Amino acid sequence: DTEVTQTPKHLVMGMTNKKSLKCEQHMGHRAMYWYKQKAKKPPELMFVYSYEKLSINESVPSRFSPECPNSSLLNLHLHALQPEDSALYLCASSQVPTETQYFGPGTRLLVL
Amino acid sequence: GEDVEQSLFLSVREGDSSVINCTYTDSSSTYLYWYKQEPGAGLQLLTYIFSNMDMKQDQRLTVLLNKKDKHLSLRIADTQTGDSAIYFCAEGTYKYIFGTGTRLKVLA
């Protein structure tokens, strides 16, 4: 089983809203990732968590706040987003940070 | 930095072979990957190749790696309409750099 689940599937929010994206895996993977994908572009790495600790932040604005409450769960808290933040947000996990990454179906976010 | 380059578009007839090419940049990557993305969906891992291999075959998929030229290719035999999607190559270890993506259209 190589399933990564993400909720919600779609999200519409205003620029003053606070919302959260959720990602879950039960494969015992110890590395989890957030990527952002704009239309017709490849995914771009945002954050890497390794053994529940943030190991990479690709200079992401502070209006995006990741959280890893346990080894199976990864959240992305959103606050005061801009319309240009509208994108597909993909979560991935891997056994350890150097191993193959498996992706979830993504959350399509629209910021109005 | 340099981009991982792929041709933007490929159109083939059902039953033909498809070849999708990728020029990567990081010669230190341990593995190189191919992912498939259908409209509105996430990325599905298709296959990967260890950097010390030249070729890997997995059912209808054949991956060729030319390390000297930093060239990776994915051949899909007997292409079907269900293979229509965007295909991304990816390099890197924990930080993946994806190629620009190739949109494959399969004509019935």
Cα separation, A31 vs A48, in Å, equals: 7
Per-residue pLDDT of chain B (108 residues; tens, 9 = 90+): 567 999 999 999 999 999 999 999 887 888 999 999 999 899 999 999 999 999 999 999 999 999 999 999 999 999 999 999 999 999 988 789 999 999 999 999
The amino acid that residue B83 corresponds to is D
The whole-angstrom distance between B66's CA and the closest CA on chain A is 21
Residue A2 predicted with pLDDT over 80:
no
In this prediction, residue B40 carries a pLDDT of 86
In this prediction, residue A80 carries a pLDDT of 94
Sequence-distant (6+) residues with CB within 8 A of A6 are: A21, A22, A23, A24, A89, A90, A91, A104, A105, A106, A107, B42
Place of tokens 């930093």: B70
Cα separation, B44 vs B103, in Å, equals: 15
In this prediction, residue A31 carries a pLDDT of 96
Q: Do A101 and B44 touch (CB under 8 A)?
A: no
In this prediction, residue A75 carries a pLDDT of 98
Tell me the pLDDT tens digit for each residue of A45-100: 999 999 999 999 999 999 999 999 999 999 999 999 999 999 999 999 999 988 89
> Is residue A66 less than 8 Å (CB to CB) from chain B?
no
Q: Do B42 and A56 touch (CB under 8 A)?
A: no
Cα separation, A33 vs A57, in Å, equals: 10
Number of neighbours of residue B68 by Cβ within 10 angstroms: 7
Sequence-distant (6+) residues with CB within 8 A of B26 are: B91, B92, B97
Q: Do B93 and A105 touch (CB under 8 A)?
A: no
Of B58, B45, B43, the C-alpha closest to A43 is B43
